[in-house]
Copies of this chain bind each other. A is one copy, B any other.
Amino acid sequence: MEFSALLTSAGINIGVCILFLTLYSILRKQPHNYGVYFGRRRAEERFQKQDDYFSFERLLPTAGWIVKAYWCTEEEIRRVAGLDSVVFLRLFIFSIRIFSITSLICILGVLPVNYHGQEMSHKNIPADSLNVFTIANVKEGSRMLWVHCVALYVITLSTCILLYHVRKPVHNALVADEFVSKFFLVHSDNITADPRVFMSQEYNYISRKRLAHITASSPNPGHFSVLVRSIPKSDNELLDDTIRNFFVNYHGSSYLSHQMIYRKGKLQKFVDNAEKAYRKFVRVKLSVFDRNGRSMSRCGLCGVRASSFQLYRNKFIEAKKSDLSNPEVVEAQKECPGAIVFFKTRYAAIVASRILQSSNPMLWVTKLAPEPRDLYWSNLWIPYRQIWLRKIATLAASVVFMFVFIIPVAFVQSMMQLEQLQKMFPSLKGMIKKSFCARVITGYLPSVVLLLSLYTVPPLMMLFSSIEGSISRSGRKRSACCKILFFTIWNVFFVNVLSGSVLNQLNVFTRPKDMPSMLAELVPKQATFFITYVLTSGWASLCSEILQVYNLVYNFFSKFICCCHQDPEYVYSFPYHTEVPKVLLFNLLGFTFSIMAPLILPFLLVYFCLGYLVYRNQILNVYYPKYEMGGKLWPIMHNTTVFSLVLTQIIALGVFTIKHSPVATGFTILLLVGTVLFNEYCRHRFARIFDAYSAQDLIELDREDEQSGRMQEIHEHLLDAYSQSSPIDGSTSFANAQVPNEMIMEDPAQEASESSQELCDTVQEVSESIQEHGVEDKSHSV
């Protein structure tokens, strides 16, 4: 591709971007798109709605959203969208920082060296092939290769320093998120006592800032609950009793209660449906009442609350597990995959989850339960014994899919070679001859095809992760994220690089020794493709992200064509599993091409800056965090970044070998060893924090709750925190507790009705006891 073709491609994309952003700034002001562009806000401020007046201003494009997104503080984002969003945005900040440094060095230092290398002949710049700007233009044995080597050193060192310092706040944030700030309250005299823990100022800063918010928020029931699976069944004891006996016997001082997990029976499903219908009814009523002054939050006719259905459900279970002679009871016992056991303190729960319970590791398997809203109920039915097999199977399936996907990628690559395309479609010959068409085809179409075929991947990987048997939604998403990341790096980077010239070169993977020199030869050649990839997949996908094209169209059709009202409670949660791999891929591209073909860097920097603003805006307005991953995505990001660095160094090693520069080769090997050691250190220093809570923090939290007398309240909440109904509704009592305080406050209707509900409940309880007998008879007949 020539430089002018690149400019054409860039021009098209800049045009598309400006168009989309303008469109967005107009569309977001239209009231009927409120659900598309302000999903999170609507979900929180449930009963508020903007007034539907018309003004001319609504049709003018403005840039106010950019200002709003930019000036929002990190603390605000954390409160509104959770720690994961902060971590995700930190990745952008890190990328912007590192690629600013890299751009500076590579554009000023490396690019002139590449351009003035004597391997290729020069025309005037616009007509020059892009290859002139790559390292391929530097002569063999050139003395100027030290510039590349120094650039590599600077990039690696600054990446490591930034990673360590970005990692620190993330780590601190993670710890601080729930524990440390309380800890500070109690041990404020200790802060100076231990200089090593608190030497980082950021630690102090971040944790202190969070103090006010966290002490106010309710505790997480997941910290008190342990999920027990693979409970041994006995013939002469009820499963319920087995569990109680075991935990009373071995964890008697801290055991609080437990809740069995049952498969849904027919009648339970019926009650679920009834509950759904009821909820719909209440909503309709509410929206009616809403207009009349929002005085009631529930159906006044029957006086039934949603949580009453939980009572019914428990009644069925009670009725079912009455005696062992009943074959239905025995059947239910067989189907029970486990139980949630509640403990009195956080520390006791963590102890029970970390210690091997039985001398057979396949029995009494304990694990800290996810939060109620995070629990993935349908995977709880999977017997624990299957899980290892499922993991292997999905891993194998993912690998197979990764290799099958090479076919569309190869097709994309063949489109890059116009001659091959002409052979395949002779009728296109005339069109291809035209210069503009040729530019569009070589510069734009291939990456669009690749982008479209990549859209099939996330749903499939999500399916694989579901089959894998993760018990939490966040775990499933994290697993899918890893799979998509591997997939993307393999299929976008490696296959494109290696199948670039000839697809047959794929057998390079069978000769790992030749890999560096092979990569060194091929990577610069593919610079053109990846620059256009950044333009299309990067820039354009940001635009389509902010415009929410699919939702916009769906919203339009459902509102104006089908005239049906969208479920107002439905909001999307942030698709970390697709966005994180995308950003990490661009990171990888940035690192690997930094010294090979520095021309890619400005485009990437624009991508990261635009992305930072767009995602901030989306996180603030569109997506609603349904569950927390607790910043556990950071290790994935860190490891991928280090992998990118190592890959860059390996490619550089190949380049220096090809160009016969033994000194640079030696220094690069040194750098490689240093990078690996840095990663090992980080693993030892930080990795355990991301999957374990420390005794110190937990005990402090427990103590404070006990001293303030909140413990009793927490225990009462615990027992009905995990409701086994449909997952969305499954967090009735605690979900509210998870939403920051001020949001609950904005729902005055609920508060007002709280007192009248008390009255209704007593009436209800009487009617229930009458219904009960009927239900019991029914359940036996079913």
User: A762 in the interface, Cβ–Cβ < 8 Å?
Assistant: no
A-B contact pairs, 8 of them (CB 8 A): A180-B359, A196-B363, A356-B692, A359-B694, A361-B687, A362-B684, A392-B677, A507-B513
**Chain A stretch 688-724: residues in CB contact (< 8 A) with chain B:** 688-689, 692-697, 699
Tell me if B684 and A250 are in contact (CB < 8 A).
no
Let me know if A250 and B359 touch, CB within 8 A: no
CB contacts under 8 Å to B, within A511-536, are: 511-514
Determine if B360 and A197 form an interchain contact, defined as CB atoms under 8 angstroms apart: yes
Interface centre among A232, A687, A694 (most CB of B within 10 A): A694
Q: Is A510 an interface residue (CB 8 A)?
A: yes
In the complex, A180 Cα to B359 Cα: how many Å? 9
Alpha-carbon distance between A390 and B233 when the two chains are bound, in angstroms: 47
Q: Say whether A440 faces chain B, with CB atoms less than 8 Å apart.
A: no
CB of A201 within 8 A of chain B? no
B residues near A363, Cβ cutoff 8 Å: 196-197
Could you tell me the distance between the alpha carbons of A686 and B356 in the complex, rounded to whole angstroms? 12
Judge if A124 is at the interface, Cβ distance under 8 Å.
no
A766 within 8 A of B: no
Distance from A545 Cβ to chain B, minimum over Cβ atoms (Å): 36
A751 CB to closest chain B CB (Å) equals: 37
A601 at the interface (CB under 8 A from B): no
| B193 near A677: Cβ-Cβ < 8 Å | no
Find A689's partner among B361, B511, B695 (CB 8 Å cutoff).
Answer: B361
Cβ of A53 within 8 Å of any chain B Cβ, yes or no, is no
Interface positions, chain A 176-221, Cβ under 8 Å from B, are 179-180, 193-197
Mark the stretch among A347-355, A429-437, A629-637 that contacts chain B.
Answer: A347-355
Number of interface residues of A (CB under 8 A): 55
Q: Which residues of B contact A193 (CB under 8 A)?
A: 234, 236-237
**Measured CA separation A237–B687 after assembly (Å):** 30
A196-B363, A232-B194, A510-B512 given as contacts; is B388 within 8 A of A684 (CB)? yes
Residues of chain B within 8 A (CB-CB) of A358 are 197, 694, 696
Contact of A175 with B by CB under 8 A: yes
Q: Does A773 contact B (CB under 8 A)?
A: no
Contact B361 A250 (CB under 8 A): no
How long is the Cα–Cα vector from A179 to B356 in the complex, in angstroms? 14
Nearest chain B CB to A188's CB is how many angstroms away?
15
Which one of B359, B687, B695 lies within 8 Å of A355 (CB-CB)? Answer: B695
Q: Is A685 an interface residue (CB 8 A)?
A: yes
Interface: A389 (CB within 8 A):
yes
Q: How many Å from the CB of A169 to the closest CB on chain B?
A: 14
Q: Does A240 make an interface contact (CB < 8 A)?
A: no
- A699 and B250 contact, CB distance less than 8 A: yes
- Closest approach, in angstroms, between the C-beta of A227 and any C-beta of chain B? 16
Cα(A684)–Cα(B363), bound, Å: 11
* A681 to B364 CA separation, bound complex (whole angstroms): 17
Residue of B nearest to A246 (CB): B696
A265 to chain B, nearest CB (A): 26
For A250, the chain B residues whose CB sits under 8 A away are 695-696, 699
Q: Given that A359-B694, A510-B513, A510-B514 are contacting pairs, would A681 and B388 also be in contact in the complex, using a CB cutoff of 8 Å?
A: yes
* Cβ–Cβ < 8 Å partners of A677 in chain B: 389, 392
Asked if A268 is at the interface (CB within 8 A of a chain B CB), the reply is: no
Q: Which residues of A contact B (CB under 8 A)?
A: 175, 179-180, 193-197, 232-234, 236-237, 249-251, 350-352, 354-364, 388-389, 392, 507, 510-514, 677, 680-681, 684-689, 692-697, 699
Please give, as numbers and ranges, the residues of chain B lying within 8 Å of A694 by CB-CB distance.
355-359
The complex places the Cα of A360 from the Cα of B175 at a distance, in Å, of 10
Task: Report whether B359 and A697 are in contact in the complex, using a CB–CB cutoff of 8 Å.
Answer: yes
Task: Please report the C-alpha to C-alpha distance between residue A686 and residue B388 in the assembled complex, in whole angstroms.
Answer: 13
Residues of B with C-beta under 8 A to A392 = 677, 680
Complex Cα gap A746–B507 (Å): 71
Q: Are B359 and A696 in contact (CB under 8 A)?
A: yes
CA distance A234 to B180 in the complex (A): 20
- In the complex, what residues of B have CB within 8 A of residue A507's CB? 513
Contact (Cβ within 8 A) B356 A234: no
Query: Contact: B360 with A355, CB < 8 Å?
Result: no
- Measured between beta carbons, the chain B residues less than 8 angstroms from A689 are 356, 359, 361
Whole-angstrom distance between the alpha carbons of A361 and B175 in the complex?
A: 12
What residues on B are CB-neighbors of A356 within 8 Å? 688-689, 692-695
- Which residues on the B side are within 8 Å of A388 (C-beta)? 680-681, 684
Report the nearest B residue to A348, measured CB to CB. B351
A28 to B233, CA, bound (A): 57
Distance in angstroms between the alpha carbons of A236 and B193 in the assembled complex: 8
**Nearest neighbor of A396 in chain B, beta-carbon distance:** B673
CB pair A361 B688 closer than 8 Å? yes
Query: A212–B459 Cα gap in the complex (Å)?
Result: 60
Most buried by B among A196, A350, A357: A196
Instruction: Give the CA-CA distance A507 to B512 in the complex, in Å.
Output: 11
Q: Which residues of B have CB within 8 Å of A512?
A: 510, 512
Question: Could you say which of B179, B197, B354 contacts A232, with CB atoms under 8 Å apart?
Answer: B197
Residues of B contacting A237 with CB < 8 Å?
193
Question: Which B residues are CB-close (under 8 A) to A360?
Answer: 196-197, 685
State the CA gap A251–B694 with chains docked (Å): 13
Q: How far is the CA of A593 from the CA of B744 in the complex (A)?
A: 73
| Chain B residues, Cβ within 8 Å of A357 | 694-696
Q: Which residues of B contact A354 (CB under 8 A)?
A: 354-355
Name the B residues within 8 Å of A194 (CB-CB): 232, 234
Task: Indicate if the CB atoms of B359 and A175 lie closer than 8 Å.
Answer: yes
Instruction: Choose from B355, B361, B697 the contact partner of A350 (Cβ within 8 Å).
Output: B355
Between A196, A233, A249, A360, the greatest number of chain B beta carbons within 10 A of the residue's beta carbon is seen for: A360
- Across the interface, do A179 and B359 meet the contact criterion of CB distance under 8 Å? yes
Alpha-carbon distance A352/B358, docked complex (angstroms): 18
Bound complex: CA A736 to CA B180 (Å): 47
What B residues does A236 contact at CB under 8 A?
193
Shortest distance between the CB of A229 and any CB in chain B (Å): 13
Complex contacts, A197 vs chain B, CB 8 Å = 232, 358-360, 363
Question: Cβ of A251: which chain B residues have Cβ within 8 Å of it?
Answer: 695
Docked pose: A692 CA to B366 CA in angstroms: 14
A350 neighbours in B (Cβ, 8 Å): 355
**A435 CB to nearest chain B CB (Å):** 44
Interface centre among A237, A351, A689, A699 (most CB of B within 10 A): A351
